Structure 1
Amino acid sequence: MSRLRVVLVVLALLLLLPPPTPAFAATTAEGGPNLDSLSVDNGATAPSPSDWSTAVVDSTMARRPATSLGLGYTDALFLHAAFQVYQRTHDTRYLNYVKAWGSARVATDGSTGNTYNDLDSMLVGNVFLDLAPATGDSRYRLAANRIVKRVATFPRTSDGALIHNVAFTGQLWSDGAFMAQPFLARAGDHTGPPRQLLTYFEHLRNEDALLRHAYDETGRSEWADTSGRSPEVWCRAVGWFGMATVDVLEELPRTHPDRAALVEIVRYLADGYRRWQDPATGRWFQLPVKPGLAGNWTETSCSAMFTYTLARAVERGYVSPAFWPVAQRGYRGVLAKVSIGSDGRTRISDVVIGTNVGDARYYLERPRMDNDFHGLGAFLIMNEELRSSR
């Protein structure tokens, strides 16, 4: 048999072999995959940790066509995060995905059918601001302007803070800080967002550490104590607030009069993150200041948010480099909750679904989901930051 024929036979046999399947080269302390050493059985490494963003976006795009996503804050969080991945990779598939969503959801006059009667509905403004310069399509600037105009008439507390929902008179929720303030700062308002964050912080600051979930200046909510605050520190509410603060700082001039006060908030939160990080996993608990409470569990989306905030704070010099190991432990802890399924798509586990204000039992019994969009968006934002900071 000629040498050429031998080569052709070998190639034909190789084509009959099944494709390499993902296998984890090691496991974590919890018995899960070590995502820093994901390999395939031919010895190649796929993907490296810096590629987890693209793996998550690719998997989500395969599961959810762009036009299936709505205007809600969780979908908007994922789209905003996916756009950040596009900005790094310049992979036009990601831009086209976000554009397809925008074309389906935003009319040429900027209308969306949304009345913007709660702060959650305003998070989508970040996606409008992403698409406006990327596409040159005026509909997105018009859509963003509609939210800005709505904020001007939005109900407030007696000291000027935006309430969480027009149906919740006098209520501030920590979550609401991220829903509107980074968007408004990006839209050019450098006065309102820092004042909003400072007012929220004054009402929500917990005596021991971190922040309470909510505050009701009327005191009429069933969850309000004598100070008007809700009883618990809920991890994702604190995560939203931390991300909001570092993101608003990103937009402010260095000479801004409120800048130093916002940096102090970041330092306060960072101290709490370090104090209450779970030493066993690197993550944070659903009720972070009660780690020993029966039924408490580490939650993935807030752990990603805390990690992002810490990494950004170290990178910008808001806190000392001593906090970097805390961020690294958080990063490893979150990665331990990411895996690849038999379908070849990513899975992010232990993400709590949307959550209102309640008592300890309510938070601990909230369902957990795989690939909940709270977790997808938070993971991408964290991973993009940690990738650039390593």
Structure 2
Amino acid sequence: MKKLFPFLVLIVLISQAPAQTTWSVRFSNAILNRYKPTINALTNKGWEYSNSIVLRGIEKTYQATGDTNYLNYIKAYIDTYVDNTGKISAINLSPTLDKIHPALLCLFLYEKTGLTKYKTAATQIRNYLLTSGNFKTTPDGGYWHKNDNTHAYDNVMMLDGIYMAHTFLAKYGAMFTDNVAIDTAVDQALLIASHVYDNTKKLPYHAWDYSKSKSWANPATGISSEVWSRGLGWYVAALVDILEYLPASHPKYDQLKNLLNDLAAGIKDNQDSATGLWYQVINKQDSAGNYLETSGSGLIIYALKTAVSNGFIDTSYLSVAEKGWAGLQNEVGTYTDGLPQIRSFAPAMSVQDNYLEYTSAPYLPVNCPTATGTQHPHGYCGFLLAASSMEYPVNVYTFVGNGYWSDSTNWNNKIKPPAILPPGNEVIINPANGGVCTLNTSQVVYRSSSVIVNNGKTFSVNSNLVLLK
């Protein structure tokens, strides 16, 4: 595990980050420009995942750039629903996992502002899911995706639900030492895999019905018929996020990590060789009507790159992510407002009866923005998460020798950081065995860059380390 070095000598200045031209920034800026005063102007969904998945992408852009416009935009959305005491009105809640996801942003805001109201709100959502009795489970303990009057989701688990609810629980548990929250997230992720994962294909089907009675469910197994791109994307992104918050000592850490590795193999095997993307129905590339789907592809790229960066999967998967990222950028257009548009993703949809329903109207690919009809946020989410993982850190500088920071021979490939480290860069302190990295010259680091000291390594600060924000 790596840790962020606590700066010993710190001067805080107020400064604007240099202009950025990354896709992360360009899309984030476009969203802030288009949808005012909050992201709900895009969806009109209120306290629900459709809004928070886009803001989760903008959160990643904020983490990389330190631009407070992004922080304030996220805060404006959350403050619409969270009052000054941290209460979320019951009118905004209902027993669906789709309404858990915005609570991730409460955790983010608590981290960045220190305001207790955001912790209070997050705790309310944690308790609403775990202890209120509003959420029903299958006889083997799996959360129904929804508990509503339609009964369409009775006894149904979906891959989507792991991302919508359990990434939040994992982070909440890590932040507040809540083992119940952490264990619930892990157990739910593994439980659905036990029902929908196909070990031959190394891919998961979209959903599972305990009762085996839904029109889409296999009457013998209860499993749905297809491997859906965005469902797979939600799931592998969730696994990566959960693993990031899970201590390696957790008894089911290896089980979750092994599952991620198996899925990565299936994902690699089904990547389109020409474009680097993945199809709407992942494993039926040559079937009539299938189409390249960018939201699931973006989530997959994010998951692979993040997993490689954290050592969860082999570094060979980086080339898979890079090929996907190259293909994803080819699906960026320019909308009539002169700002970027993401193309060719599936609109909002649930589990379908068969292949034809996954690949025909009303689930043909859409763009966002679009001139007419519903504006779907999923394309923004997939693209922003992919961009944030592929574009940052811009550069990584690794100290591998013994001695002074200023000596380029102590740095990997003899490349040492510039005296002013711009936003989105990373310095890793990993001296040779028994060695020390000694900062012997003034170094400026933007807040959205990081200096990381690997465990067991020594960083001696003998000069000013200046943090700009």
Question: Which residue of 38, 44, 47 maps to 1:71?
Answer: 47
Name the structure 2 match of 1:388: 392
User: Shift of residue 160 of structure 1?
Assistant: 1.2
Q: Deviations over 1:291-343 (max 9, x none)?
A: 01101000000001111111122222222222111111111111111133353
Task: Note the alpha carbon deviations across 1:157-202, whole angstroms, 9 max, x for none.
Answer: 1111111111322110011110011100111122111111111100
- 1:311–1:389 contact (8 Å) kept in structure 2: no
- Are 2:364 and 1:360 equivalent residues in the alignment? no
Corresponding residue of 1:4: none
Q: Give the aligned residue type for 2:77.
A: W
Q: Which residue of 1 aligns with 2:72?
A: 96
Specify the code of the residue in structure 2 equivalent to 1:61.
L
Answer whether contact 2:294 2:379 (CA < 8 A) is retained. Answer: yes
| Alignment equivalent of 1:215, drawn from 201, 208, 211 | 208
Q: Cα 1:86–1:228, aligned 2, differ >3 Å: closer, same or farther?
A: same
Secondary structure at the aligned position of 1:172 is classed as: strand
Q: Which has the higher helix share?
A: 1
CA 1:389–1:95 in 2, change beyond 3 Å: closer, same or farther?
closer
Q: How far off is 1:245 after superposition?
A: 0.4
Secondary structure at 1:296 match in 2 = coil
- CA drift at 1:47: 6.6
Secondary structure of the 1:350 match is strand
Residues 31-110 of structure 1: pairs in structure 2 closer than 5 A: 48=21, 51-67=22-38, 69=40, 70-109=46-85, 110=87
- What are structure 1's unaligned runs of at least 5 residues? 1-45
Partner of 1:140: 118
State the partner residue of 2:439. Answer: none
Match of 1:183 in 2: 168
CA contact 1:299–1:351 (8 Å) conserved in 2: yes
Distance 1:230 1:150 in 2: 29
- Which residue in the other structure is 1:159 paired with? 140
Instruction: Indicate the residue corresponding to 2:465 in structure 1.
Output: none
- The Cα of 1:143 is off from its aligned counterpart by 1.7
1:120-175 deviations in Å (ceiling 9; x for gaps): 11111111111123233333222211211122232111111111111322110011
Q: How many residues align?
A: 343
1:15-26 to structure 2, matched below 5 A, reads none
Structure 1 counterpart of 2:5: none
Equivalent position amino acid for 1:227 in 2: T
Across the aligned residues of Structure 1 and Structure 2, the Cα RMSD in angstroms comes to 1.6
Partner Cα distance (1:80, 1:281) in 2: 26
Residue 128 of structure 1 aligns to a residue whose secondary structure is helix
Is residue 169 of structure 1 aligned with residue 169 of structure 2?
no
TM-superposed deviation, 1:116: 3.3
Aligned equivalents of 1:77 and 1:276: distance in 2? 25
Specify which of 221, 224, 227 is matched with residue 217 of structure 2. Answer: 224
Structure 1 residue 105 displacement after superposition: 2.3
Q: Distance in 2 between matches of 1:337 and 1:374?
A: 14
Q: Partners of 1:178 and 1:244 in 2: how far apart?
A: 5
Contact 1:286 1:364 in 2 (8 A): yes
Alignment of 1:326-365 (within 5 A): 326-358=320-352, 359-365=354-360
Runs of 4+ with >6 A deviation: none
Secondary structure of the equivalent of 2:221? coil
Say if 1:125 and 1:144, in contact at 8 Å, map to a contact too: yes
Look up the match of 1:322. 316
Q: Which SS does the other structure have where 2:38 is aligned?
A: helix
Counterpart of 1:201 (choices 172, 175, 193) is: 193
Are positions 1:111 and 2:88 aligned together? yes
Partner secondary structure for residue 97 of structure 1: helix
- 2-structure distance, mates of 1:71, 1:191: 25
Distance 1:253 1:261 in 2: 13
Contact 2:64 2:393 (C-alpha < 8 Å) held by counterparts:
no
Secondary structure of the 1:98 match is helix
Which shows bigger deviation, 288-297 or 102-111?
102-111
C-alpha distance 237-68 of structure 1, shift in aligned 2 (>3 A): closer
Per the alignment, in what secondary structure is the counterpart of residue 67 of structure 1?
coil
Where structure 2 has 5 or more consecutive residues not aligned to the other structure, the ranges are 1-18, 41-45, 174-180, 369-375, 395-469
Q: Shift of residue 210 of structure 1?
A: 0.8
Measured in 1, the distance between the counterparts of 2:117 and 2:75 equals 12
How many angstroms apart in 2 are the aligned matches of 1:306 and 1:83? 18
The answer on 1:370 being equivalent to 2:367 is yes
**Partner of 2:270 in structure 1?**
276
Q: TM-score scaled by structure 1?
A: 0.84
Letter in 2 for 1:274: K
Q: How high is the sequence identity, in percent, across the aligned residues?
A: 31
Deviations 1:23-79 (A, max 9, x none): xxxxxxxxxxxxxxxxxxxxxxx975xx11110011111110133512221211111
**2:141 is matched by which residue type in structure 1?**
G
Q: 1:298 aligns with which of 292, 302, 305?
A: 292
